[in-house]
């Protein structure tokens, strides 16, 4: 289905008046099936058509924006991506690569221009991509799967700068590699006796579900689970396996280990808390991503199938860029969300991404409660059909005004992708209920702080905003995406669209960087307050008296005190919990004490260059220990597999790493807890400190950029704390909002954020 979206006649593409069959042809060798992320070499031969190619005419070989394959390079014959180009008649060619040299989404462009001579009909241009003849390893293919990856060829035969696509394009199939890790997924909270499922898959090096696993798996739970077999078979050709209708009569924290036939542990599930009673249950969602019909990969149907099946999501939504969604594709999306919506199994929401320029308000996600609603675009930039041009909303403020005028039953999120939402410029709390603090583009807690700074009352979500066709399991691969896609945990009495809408309106959810943990945050008051689900500052809102509140609630508490009650159950040890009141950081809570610290030093870098598209911060660097020895070093959030952490002797470490707002780093274990010093050298930060001074509290080094810093602290040699229960009294401000929320950081680098409980006097 590759290119399906561009066959829609209303999408602006590279079209022209020349009959396509007269443009020539292209042949790719070898063709066939290739492993994601593998190195390969291709010869693409273009044969000129009826017009040949005139002097100063040219052709383009383009690939999609989302592809993270090695870009062509023309200078180093021994390096990856080396590319050579020649004409069969020895015409002189000018060759250059431009990552944004063509019409979106086919913007990664190898441009070949005839600068002396010309091509007659039947003469050829031969392009060797990943030319291995002089020592290059070839080109690394994109790291995610696509059944019809296209080397799209466009021709300008008459030197008019009007490029037209060939009628038949060279394609290959990109498939998963062998399994490198196993994944086991449980829900995070269920009631005693209530059915649940265990989901299993094997992933290749790049995070693709692999169909090449063939194993008998042993299953071992820490207490009895009815319906859980002792062994199960994962067969070759299978991408995922679900064991359903499992139950337990035991209250507690359940974990299941997956072992091979020899008894070696392959993986452990996330923990599942079994309780006697619970009004709300957690369901995990990815509500933001795109398919090939806009700027993503694979079809919209395949998008929903992936979310439901190998990603094991409970809920999903598609968010294509509005300026690429034609009326025809909008109807198709409506049909897909209606088809895939299955209460109790998998829930969908119809919607789109309003993709206005940053100066006009920036990106917003728009969701509807029912299909058949009108789409109000930021522009018709890539849509030829102008019949509904007058329905566009050029600014975010105009979008909110039109949603209100139309009486739309809509919900919006502010998010940061290519364009960031300027929530200070435009916001309407009647529709915009939350901000997206994490996605595959990075971490954007600053967007939440923007909202607090101007008094907006919003919840917190995280999604993938993925372009690789993997909603709910979106990995960064080898591209400018520097983070794993996030998940939103929805707290609902049941899995249905109606309850999902209620949950989003009431902000009863929390966000994670892709991990599945259980988080409960509540406030107790020493006297009743007035609890609202809608912001009373925006107009009349239903209310009730309450002496407790949960995440997302808004409470008027004229007098009295508040205490936070927090419960965390995580799949990895808890490093810290940060308690915040709006823009104010109140406290860092660690599950261990200073006397528990050992010889493990944690070095973490984080941040973004700025708010816009090219926000990557490169942290490549070295660390050297003097007067001590390095026993071992282990990476934290090294999410791009080609970027590695390496030991250099018994005193040095080197690495390649980047962040896009998120965090990464490493732990180093030293021979002597207090002797010597460590020198850290990166481009953003250079630091030297005595190891005896590294302790419980962070030593931080600030860098230029947005939340850009390096911090050093000491950890216990072993941290067993995967759960934490705590109560904290909170001193409330008497003016303005008290927006109480938590940021949880796990030792493996994952994070989570609770939607704020808003208390005002």
Q: Where are the domains of the chain?
A: 4-175, 181-278, 282-514, 517-591+730-761, 592-715
| Residue 452 per-residue DSSP state | H
Q: Which among 612, 604, 644 has a CA at the least distance from the CA of 480?
A: 612
pLDDT of the residue at 17: 85
Rounded-to-integer distance, Cα 685 and Cα 621, Å: 9
| Res. 3 pLDDT band, cuts 50 70 90 | very low
Mean pLDDT of 191-219: 98
d(CA 414, CA 2): 30
Q: Across residues 655-661, what is the average pLDDT?
A: 95
At residue 674, the pLDDT reads: 87
CA distance to 245, 247, 253, 269, 391, per residue, from 193 (Å) = 10, 5, 14, 19, 52
Common-topology check for domains 181-278 and 282-514: no
pLDDT tier at 5, thresholds 50, 70, 90: very low
Superfamily of domain 282-514: Metal-dependent hydrolases (3.20.20.140)
Fold for domain 517-591+730-761?
Immunoglobulin-like (2.60.40)
Over 80: is that where the pLDDT of 315 sits? yes
Say which CATH class 592-715 falls into.
Answer: mainly beta
Span 276-289, pLDDT tens digits: 999 999 999 999 99
Average pLDDT over residues 54-67: 96
Tell me what pLDDT residue 613 has.
86
**Residue-level pLDDT at 614:** 86
- Residues contacting 161, CB < 8 A, separation 6+: none
Q: Say which CATH architecture domain 181-278 belongs to.
A: Sandwich (2.60)
d(CA 223, CA 206): 33
Q: Give the pLDDT confidence of 7-52 residue by residue, as tens digits.
A: 677 877 777 789 999 999 999 999 999 999 999 999 999 999 999 9
> What local confidence, expressed as pLDDT, does residue 480 receive?
67
pLDDT at residue 174 tops 80:
yes
CA 76 to chain centre: 33
Nearest-10 crossing angle of helices 300-308, 327-340 = 20
pLDDT at position 6, please?
46
Distances (CA, A) of 443 to 234, 378, 447, 463, 484: 35, 25, 9, 11, 10
Report the mean per-residue pLDDT for the chain.
Answer: 96
Mean pLDDT of 235-257: 97
Q: What is the mean pLDDT of residues 374-402?
A: 95
Over residues 237-242, mean pLDDT: 97
What lies within 8 Å, CB to CB, of 336 at 6+ separation is 300, 301, 304, 318, 348
Considering only 286-295, 470-479, 510-519, which range has the smallest mean pLDDT? 470-479
Among the CATH numbers 1.20.1280.50, 2.60.40.10, 2.60.40.1510, 2.40.50.140, which is that of 4-175?
Answer: 2.60.40.1510
């Amino acid at each position: 289905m590759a290119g399906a979206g561009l066959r829609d006649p209303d999408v602006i593409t590279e079209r022209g008046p020349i009959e396509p069959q007269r443009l020539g042809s292209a042949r790719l060798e070898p063709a066939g099936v290739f492993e994601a992320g593998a190195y390969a070499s291709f010869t693409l031969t273009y044969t000129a058509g009826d017009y040949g190619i005139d002097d100063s005419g040219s052709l383009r070989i383009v690939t999609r924006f989302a592809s993270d394959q090695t870009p062509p390079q023309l200078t180093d014959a021994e390096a990856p991506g080396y590319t050579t180009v020649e004409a069969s008649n020895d015409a002189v060619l000018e060759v250059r690569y431009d990552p944004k040299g063509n019409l979106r989404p086919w913007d990664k462009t190898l441009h070949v221009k005839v600068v002396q001579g010309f091509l007659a009909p039947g003469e050829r241009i031969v392009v060797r991509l990943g030319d291995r003849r002089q020592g290059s390893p070839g080109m690394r293919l994109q790291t995610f799967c696509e059944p019809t990856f296209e080397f799209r060829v466009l021709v300008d035969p008459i030197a008019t700068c009007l490029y037209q696509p060939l009628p038949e394009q060279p394609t290959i199939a990109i498939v998963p590699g062998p399994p490198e890790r196993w994944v086991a997924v449980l829900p995070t909270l269920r009631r005693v006796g209530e059915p649940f499922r265990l989901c299993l898959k094997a992933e290749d090096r790049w995070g693709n579900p692999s169909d090449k696993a063939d194993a008998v798996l042993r299953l071992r739970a820490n207490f009895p689970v009815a319906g859980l077999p002792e062994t199960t078979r994962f067969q070759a050709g299978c991408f995922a396996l679900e064991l359903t209708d499992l139950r337990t009569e035991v209250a507690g924290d359940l974990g299941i280990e997956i072992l091979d036939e020899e008894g070696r542990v392959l993986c452990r599930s996330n923990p599942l808390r079994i309780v006697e009673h619970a009004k709300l249950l957690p369901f995990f969602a990815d509500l933001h991503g795109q398919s090939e019909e806009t700027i993503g990969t694979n079809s919209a149907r395949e998008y929903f199938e992936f979310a439901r099946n190998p990603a094991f999501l409970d809920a999903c939504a598609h968010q294509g860029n509005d300026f690429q969604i034609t009326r025809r594709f909008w109807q198709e999306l409506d049909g897909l969300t209606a088809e895939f919506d299955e209460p109790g199994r998998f829930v969908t929401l119809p919607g789109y991404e309003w993709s206005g320029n940053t100066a006009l308000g920036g990106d917003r996600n728009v969701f509807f409660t029912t299909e058949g609603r009108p789409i109000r675009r930021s522009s018709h930039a890539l849509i030829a059909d102008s019949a509904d041009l007058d329905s566009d909303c050029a600014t975010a403020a105009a979008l909110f005004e039109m949603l209100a005028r139309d009486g739309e039953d809509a919900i919006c999120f502010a998010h940061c992708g290519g364009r960031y939402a300027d929530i200070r410029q435009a916001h309407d709390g009647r529709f915009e209920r939350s901000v997206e603090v994490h996605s595959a583009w990075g971490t954007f807690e600053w967007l939440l702080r923007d909202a607090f700074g101007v008094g907006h009352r919003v919840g917190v979500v995280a999604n993938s905003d993925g372009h690789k066709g993997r909603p709910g399991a979106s990995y960064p691969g080898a591209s400018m995406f520097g983070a794993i896609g996030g998940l939103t945990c929805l707290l609902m009495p049941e899995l249905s669209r109606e309850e999902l809408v209620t949950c989003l309106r009431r902000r009863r959810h929390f966000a994670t960087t892709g991990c599945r943990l259980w988080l409960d945050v509540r406030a107790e008051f020493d006297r009743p307050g007035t609890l609202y689900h809608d912001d009373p500052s925006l107009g009349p809102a239903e209310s009730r008296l309450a002496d407790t509140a949960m995440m997302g609630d808004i409470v008027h508490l004229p007098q009295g005190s508040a205490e936070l009650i927090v419960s965390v159950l995580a799949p990895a040890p808890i490093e810290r919990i940060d308690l915040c009141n709006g823009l104010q950081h109140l406290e860092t809570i660690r599950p261990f004490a200073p006397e528990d610290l050992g010889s493990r030093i944690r070095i973490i870098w984080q941040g973004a260059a700025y708010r816009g598209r090219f926000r990557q911060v490169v942290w490549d660097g070295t660390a050297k220990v003097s007067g001590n020895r390095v026993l071992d070093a282990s990476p934290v959030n090294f999410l791009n597999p080609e970027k590695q952490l390496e030991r250099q002797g018994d005193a040095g470490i080197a690495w390649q790493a980047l962040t896009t707002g998120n965090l990464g780093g490493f732990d180093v274990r030293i021979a002597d807890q207090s002797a010597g010093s460590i020198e850290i050298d990166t481009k953003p930060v250079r630091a030297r400190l005595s190891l005896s001074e590294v302790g419980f509290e962070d030593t931080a080094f600030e860098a230029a950029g947005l939340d850009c810093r390096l911090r050093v602290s000491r950890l216990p040699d072993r941290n067993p704390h995967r759960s934490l229960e705590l109560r904290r009294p909170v001193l409330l401000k008497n003016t303005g909002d008290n927006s109480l929320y938590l940021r949880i950081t796990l030792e493996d680098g994952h994070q989570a954020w609770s939607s704020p409980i808003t208390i005002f006097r």
